[in-house]
Amino acid sequence: MIDVMSNPRSRDPIFGGVLLAIAIIIPFLDPGIYFVKQLTLLFIWTAAVTQWNLVFGVAGIWTLAHMVIFATGGYGTAMIGLYLDWSLWVGLPIAALCAIFISYLIGVATVRLRGPYVAVLTLAIAVAIYALILSDSECFTYDELVCYQFSGGINGLHRFGDFGFKELLGFKQRFFGDYYLALAVLAFGTAFVIAVVRSPFGLAFRGLRDNEKYSRSRGISFTKYQILVFVMSGFFTGLAGGVYAGFFKTMGSSVVGMPLLLYLFTMMIVGGRGYIWGPILGCGLLMLVDDLLRTQAEWRTVVFAVIIIVVVLFMRFGLAGLIEQLWHRYVVQFFRLRREERERSMAAK
Amino acid sequence: MMSDKKIAPILACRSLSKHYGALAAVDKLNFDVRSGEILGISGPNGAGKTTLFEVISGLDPATSGEISFRGHNIVDFPPEQICHMGIARTFQLNTAFDTLTARENVLLASCFGHHNLLFPGFKFNRSALKRADEALDLVRMTHKRDAVARDLPVYDRKRLMIAGALACEPKLLLLDEPVGGLDFQEINEVIELVEIIRHEHSLTIILIEHVMRFLVALSDRVMIMHQGKNIYEGLPEELAKDPTVVEVYLGEEAKHLKQLMQ
């Protein structure tokens, strides 16, 4: 038992399996549409942050342009639905592939920079995309004298279709479809991140994060692996964006806006930068707090600020780091002592 | 070991220079290293010894000159390529991948440092795992393989660095002050380790060290650097007799060194 408890290799799949099982069962417990929709949004954000954490936390690249990749998936899916009139199920993987390409470009752009300068450049990219969308005022199509911009502009994109869950599952259970789709993107995305972190790729990323010079002297090409981690994180981020578009049936510039960026960034830091379960813990906690405060909106900012301050000062490694520490100190110790006691009593006989 | 002058040296530096603005940290340096030998480099602080290693390993490219390694001019090669060609080094400041375990530290080297890995894959290559475990075993740190590098004491981190270098199966090993800050017993263990490495792995070694006991015990030949130049190149026994070396570097230590050699 102690080997299972103390070894992340066996612990992670069990933990993940339990969470997944709970998530699958929840809709059948009839918690209400609001709760199901909130959890769907939680899954979408967590899926995006999980991939962001791979680049930011595991590989140590301080990118703030992650939502541009998310937006590529979302806008791509929406535009394919709107302009080509294709099903979102076809648009979704295509948009995800576009997201990989955009992710690649961002990786190439940051390759000569280090540390905070990457943050500066990527933030500039995010702000530029946001401004680009908002400033789009040229009329791309007309519909009874109403002007529609190519990117949706200030109003965003609408009426591009959805995943068809109303027809597939019936009106009453239509939101289950988005719920399980978002859950699938999160589950596969997390499994992917776990596989990457455990693999030689993960070793290279962590090595470059810890000490770039030492890594290079041991044969790891910085350029190759920096670009690679961006590319690898792009697919599931794009998928998450596309699921967002199909779920909300609207796509707006707010996904690359600052408020959302800060919100998700806080989730990543609070959860624990670089830890596999960090995003789930961080997103879960912050959405819970957000929901508890929905009737007292004025307290929201204050509480979030306090949470960030507490975490940065006292829990540098985030919730995941703290739990890891406590786990080792109490749970693993408990099982170790129990085994030692058992061995002693067997030796005495 | 008889050196045949007709055999090309494994490493040859010609007119090698590294300038930082007006300062010549390495100044038109010429020297050869014969295959299989241990060359010891010493000299006062600021002589350019570590800079020389930075230049050879590609982490800080030379300003001018040539470095010939096994027939190739590696002066403009990136560090990862130089590693794949067969040069591995350790660092003066005990360097490690702090968040990785001891085993992961060495596994990274054996996986990526051995040859150019085009597609790493999702599983570790069996031979990479074996190389890593053997290197860890050679430096006698197998029992600490799951310890996180950040928590390891200095002596362990130094051994870990050496294990990492060995896991790359290099032809040329550069050791930068491997025993700096170690106690008497630990220095003896490292001397023993280097001798085992030399005999079992047929490598060439260049080592930088201030601890004379270590330098003299292991080196076949010694080179003394001063202000980026090579002021002495020869046998360790003759070191204490060279007046320039005594004046520039050894000073009072010359008497002690003479005693050591006897």
Rounded to the nearest angstrom, the minimum Cα separation between B251 and chain A is 35
Q: Which candidate from B78, B109, B123 shows the least CB-CB separation from A199? A: B123
- Check if A203 contacts B (Cβ < 8 Å): yes
- Measured CA to CA, the distance from residue A206 to residue A201 in angstroms comes to 9
Structure tokens at A284: 């879960």
Q: Residue B3 pLDDT > 70, yes or no?
A: no
Rounded to the nearest angstrom, the minimum Cα separation between B200 and chain A is 22
* H or E element at residue B225: strand B221-226
Q: How many other β-carbons are positioned within 10 Å of the β-carbon of residue A58?
A: 24
pLDDT of residue A250: 94
Q: How far apart are the first and last CA of chain A?
A: 23
- Measured CA to CA, the distance from residue B87 to residue B68 in angstroms comes to 12
Phi, psi of B41 (to 5 degrees): -120, 130
Which positions in chain A touch B113 (Cβ < 8 Å)? 218-219
Rounded to the nearest angstrom, the minimum Cα separation between B248 and chain A is 32
Structure tokens at B151: 């928590």
pLDDT of residue B1: 47
Partner residues linked to A143 by β-bridges: A146
Q: Which candidate from B83, B98, B121 shows the least CB-CB separation from A200? A: B121
Domain spans, chain A: 15-256
How do residues B58-93 score in pLDDT, each as one tens digit? 999 999 999 999 999 999 999 999 999 999 999 998
Under an 8 A CB cutoff, do A213 and B113 touch?
A: no
SS3 A319: helix
Residue in chain B closest to A208 (alpha carbons) equals B97
Mean pLDDT of B192-215: 91
- The C-alpha angle B202, B208, B211, rounded to 5 degrees, equals 110
Torsion, Cα A50 A54 A56 A59, to 10 degrees, reads 170
The half-sphere exposure of A234 on its side-chain side, counting CA atoms within 13 A, is: 25
pLDDT of residue B229: 92
In total, chain A counts a number of residues equal to: 349
Global pTM value: 0.91
Mean pLDDT of B171-181: 94
How do residues B140-174 score in pLDDT, each as one tens digit? 999 999 999 999 999 999 999 999 999 999 999 99
- Among A93, A133, A147, which residue's Cα sits nearest to residue A253? A133
Q: Residue B219 pLDDT > 60, yes or no?
A: yes
pLDDT of residue A3: 59
What are chain B's domains?
7-86+170-262 (3.40.50.300), 98-169 (no CATH)
- Among A87, A76, A74, A246, which residue's Cα sits nearest to residue A177? A246
**Identity at A47, one-letter amino acid code:** A
SS3 A146: strand
Render each residue's pLDDT in chain A as its tens digit; 349 residues: 555 566 667 788 888 999 999 999 999 998 889 999 999 999 999 999 999 999 999 999 999 999 999 999 999 999 999 999 999 999 999 999 999 999 999 999 999 999 999 999 999 999 999 999 999 888 888 777 788 888 888 889 998 988 988 888 888 888 999 999 999 999 999 999 999 999 999 999 999 999 999 999 999 999 999 999 999 999 999 999 999 999 999 999 999 999 899 889 999 999 999 999 999 999 999 988 888 888 887 787 788 888 888 998 998 899 999 988 888 788 777 777 887 888 888 888 7
- Among A82, A78, A87, A101, which residue's Cα sits nearest to residue A242? A78
- Measured CA to CA, the distance from residue A212 to residue A229 in angstroms comes to 15
Name the packing angle between helices A278-292 and A297-314 (round to 10°).
150
- Measured CA to CA, the distance from residue A78 to residue A246 in angstroms comes to 8
- Check if A207 contacts B (Cβ < 8 Å): yes
Mean pLDDT over each residue of chain B, to the nearest integer = 91
SS3 content of chain B, % helix, strand, coil (to 5): 40, 25, 35
Q: Residue B242 pLDDT > 70, yes or no?
A: yes
Scanning chain A, the segments in alpha helix (DSSP H) are 2-6, 8-25, 33-53, 66-83, 88-110, 116-134, 165-169, 174-198, 200-210, 212-217, 222-248, 258-271, 278-292, 297-314, 318-326, 333-348
pLDDT of residue B241: 83
Cα separation values, A93 from A90, A241, A256, B221, B240, Å:
6, 11, 21, 64, 73
How do residues B123-141 score in pLDDT, each as one tens digit? 999 999 999 999 999 999 9
Mean pLDDT of B14-32: 93
Could you tell me where the beta strands, DSSP code E, fall in B34-110? 38-42, 64-69, 72-73, 87-89
Q: Give the count of Cβ contacts less than 8 A between chain A and B.
A: 89
Strands B38-42, B204-208: pairing is parallel
**Of residues B242 and B186, which shows the higher confidence score?**
B186
Rounded to the nearest angstrom, the minimum Cα separation between A105 and chain B is 21
In total, chain B counts a number of residues equal to: 262
